[in-house]
Structure 1
Amino acid sequence: MKYKLLGVLYLVQGMPYGLQSSLLPIYLRGVGLSFTHISLTKVLYLPWLLKVLWAPFVDQHWTKRTWLLLSMCGLGMTCLVCTALSPDENFLLLAIVLLLMNLLASVQDIAVDGLAVIILNRKELGYGNTIQVVGYKLGSVLAGGGFLTVMHIFGWSNLFLLLATVYFLATLYTLSAPDFMITANVFITKVKYKNKTLKRLEILKMMFLVPGTLWTLGFVLIYKLGEHGATSMFPLFLLDHGMSPAELGFWNGMVGMTSSIAGSTMGGVLLAQKRKLFNLLRISLMLRFLSLCYQTILLTVYTSELWYMTAAAVLSIIIQHFIGGLVTTLTFSLMMHCTKGADERIQATHYSFLATMEVLGKLAFSTVIGGLVDWTSFIFCYLLFIFLSFMPLIHTLYEPRLQF
């Protein structure tokens, strides 16, 4: 029952990301915006970088169920507002609503992750993190590639109306969730401090004293740099070379993300077989490095006039997403293992801090990569992606002495 609940929660949590990472860039490029402007829309993810600021509040007040109900109901309301807005006519107002959507989704993320840390034991982390990643990506597929594929049929407003319905149904499901959802409030104020600043400093100190935190922090900051740059720019490269938005929605959004889900599932299965986490990480990171080399070579020879070139491009998307899903599941398992060593009063905050750094690592580079492509070239940027994808592989050589 706990796996089913987490699956539903992570499914709806992934929808705002898919909407903004898969649908919006293709739509904006289709109406003529530059790579620089499209990359700057990553600023909308700012709440994900700042969520560690309100994570202690979610940790200390009310129950996880309450936060989930409030955040998902709010997400449903923002989707209803989006039905009346159009990206080409009300982009600024739409951007504000999407920023609010990300804020609510970040609150939901804190509550779901905190719940997962509490209800999953160490033996369940492999399957639990597979459900986390697969559910999140499935939501991303439905709201991103799925919506992009059928958008010309249903239209912008109807798709957001459907998304609002999904959020309200998820809210009702959470309301009827079993007893383990009603977790006791854990107040950090059990330890009496005289002022709020000292309390926050104490929380920060407790987080960094958790074994393996610094090593894990460094890894999550760099592990997606090269991959995320490639996955965000390659679809735009194909769009500029003749592939239609509907085709991209199908191959990159639907097929690519399905491949990513398959990779994430394999990661969970391998962990459940008690394979050593760091050995799996090193192998998957090396495979990702080789896949980026393949995609870089493809950029130099690609032409849409030859069918086998298109097939090679689609194959590169499938391979890249599969390996990316595998790496992601292993990384989130690593993060949750690390958080399990934290004081239970700050576990949601600790995990949110690591997750925030993971988002920062992805967005800090992808926000400027569009400008870098405009200024230089795709080939130059892909050589940079290859270099960046090698960094986390080197990082794993300095394995911390932890029971992972």
Structure 2
Amino acid sequence: MRGKLLPLAGLYLVQGLPYGLQSGLLPVLLRARGLSLTRVALAKGLYAPWLLKLAWAPLVDRRGSPRAWLTLSTAALGVVCGMLGALPPAQEGAAGLPPTVAALLLLLNLGAAVQDVALDTVAVQLLEPAELGPGNTVQVVAYKLGAALAGGGLLALVPNLSWPLLFLLLAATYLLATGLAWAAPALRLPQPQPAEPLPCRWHLLRAVLAVPGTLWTAGFVLTYKLGEQGAGSLFPLLLLDLGASAPELGLWNGLGAAACSIAGSSLGGALLARYRQPLRLLRPVLRLRLVGLACQTALLFYLDAGLGPGRVLRGVALLSLCLQHFLGGLVTSATFTLMMRCTQHAPRTLQATHYSLLATLELLGKLLLSTLAGALADGLGLRPCFSLFLALSALPVLYLGLARGVLA
């Protein structure tokens, strides 16, 4: 199993780099240059290619091998990073990202989304049922580590690391990952069957939805992160408005929160490896996450009342970010194990499409509130907005009561 998990860890790590760059580094840079919460949140529209994974997932199932798709998409990411290194970031006083930079970031997300489909398909076909817990822990931890390096870690080094050097380093990293994807013996899968004609979209979707447990899992992954993502995308920016510095946020919301998230994911993986029952793990952890978000919301209401942040309260607020990321890591490990377990019930020729459907809905649930959070805060005010996030975080706790036994 170790021979499988090590190359998967390296590839999932580089897969997390674009997400960390755009979720950790870019929002704080744009907010520091005076952009409104609405404009900062709408920059997450660059993640749109991730919502279109179902367009090419059937091709990964039926045309070529997942490993070939993985190698080509990783190489393409290196080329795009090299091009980004030749362009400047947003300047002081600019309304947003330069159009060329935005277009290349969109391409970066497109390449990362294709890579995600191929890598997840390799993992689904490579891992045995008993290896799903450790495998998904490696997936989540490595991805988050890559996101932390590209987001929080680089944010703390922004004064010393230039934009061109950043993307040249990323390009070199993708070049090494391309070699790993192509040469690692553990990633060799059985030769694919001869290409078959693709069924029409309706029949393909019907076959995917007929897999046991799919409808329940789809509903869960769409809703389980709604409240958490809405609060998590706004809370650090509000701390910035209250006097926290960008390097301080990079340390706590980037590296500190990522370390706690990785610790939570690792604990989740250890529990799953021992008990192999993701639904039983999800029930208590989702309740704890709801309590933690309620405490964070109460703290925000106190600060918003004009009572002053203070050093102690600001420290408590930063620590609350770490706690939420720890609990979020536990939830994510269990959820991705649940998704992969559901996909393994699908025929092999549908697995890339099936997992891509679940992963697309999972991402849609994340992006929906994190993209609209700024507009909600500007339009409704902080208190109604965070009350909505708290209510949405209670939904998955209730939804677990409808779980299918096949997913236990």
**Equivalent residue number for residue 127 of structure 2:** 120
Instruction: Give the number of equivalent residue pairs.
Output: 398
Is 1:39 the counterpart of 2:46 in the alignment? no
CA distance in 1, matches of 2:221, 2:193: 27
Segment of structure 1 superposing worse, 205-214 or 58-67: 58-67
**Equivalent residue number for residue 376 of structure 1:** 380
**Equivalent residue number for residue 8 of structure 1:** 10
Is 1:139 the counterpart of 2:132 in the alignment? no
Is 1:386 the counterpart of 2:386 in the alignment? no
Q: Deviations over 1:126-162 (max 9, x none)?
A: 0000001001100000001011110111121111111
Q: Deviations over 1:186-219 (max 9, x none)?
A: 4562xx6xxx6x5332221110110000000000
The TM-score normalised by the length of structure 2 is 0.95
Kindly report which structure 2 residues correspond to 1:196-275, keeping only aligned pairs within 5 A, or say none: 198-274=199-275
**Equivalent residue number for residue 350 of structure 2:** 346
Kindly report which structure 2 residues correspond to 1:81-160, keeping only aligned pairs within 5 A, or say none: 81-89=83-91, 91-160=98-167
Q: Deviations over 1:222-260 (max 9, x none)?
A: 000000011110110001111111111110000001100
CA distance in 2, matches of 1:357, 1:186: 29
Query: Over aligned residues, Cα RMSD in angstroms?
Result: 1.4
C-alpha distance 201-316 of structure 1, shift in aligned 2 (>3 A):
same
Give unmatched runs, 5+ long, in structure 2: 92-96
**Equivalent residue number for residue 319 of structure 1:** 323
C-alpha distance 46-305 of structure 1, shift in aligned 2 (>3 A):
closer
CA distance in 1, matches of 2:309, 2:27: 24
Q: Deviations over 1:87-109 (max 9, x none)?
A: 32562111100110000001100
CA distance in 2, matches of 1:271, 1:172: 32
CA distance in 2, matches of 1:180, 1:375: 49
Kindly report which structure 2 residues correspond to 1:19-58, keeping only aligned pairs within 5 A, or say none: 19-58=21-60
Name the SS of the counterpart of 2:174 in structure 1.
helix
**Equivalent residue number for residue 163 of structure 1:** 170
Give unmatched runs, 5+ long, in structure 1: none
CA distance in 2, matches of 1:230, 1:361: 13
C-alpha distance 6-306 of structure 1, shift in aligned 2 (>3 A):
same
Name the SS of the counterpart of 1:341 in structure 2.
coil
Whether the 8 Å CA contact 1:45–1:99 is kept in 2: the answer is yes
**Equivalent residue number for residue 77 of structure 1:** 79
CA distance in 2, matches of 1:384, 1:33: 24
CA distance in 2, matches of 1:323, 1:223: 13
**Equivalent residue number for residue 397 of structure 1:** 401
The TM-score normalised by the length of structure 1 is 0.95
Whether the 8 Å CA contact 1:59–1:186 is kept in 2: the answer is no
Whether the 8 Å CA contact 2:212–2:342 is kept in 1: the answer is yes
CA distance in 2, matches of 1:117, 1:269: 19
Identical positions, percent: 49
Q: Deviations over 1:300-359 (max 9, x none)?
A: 223665221122012101100000010001000000010010011111110011000001
Whether the 8 Å CA contact 2:74–2:111 is kept in 1: the answer is yes
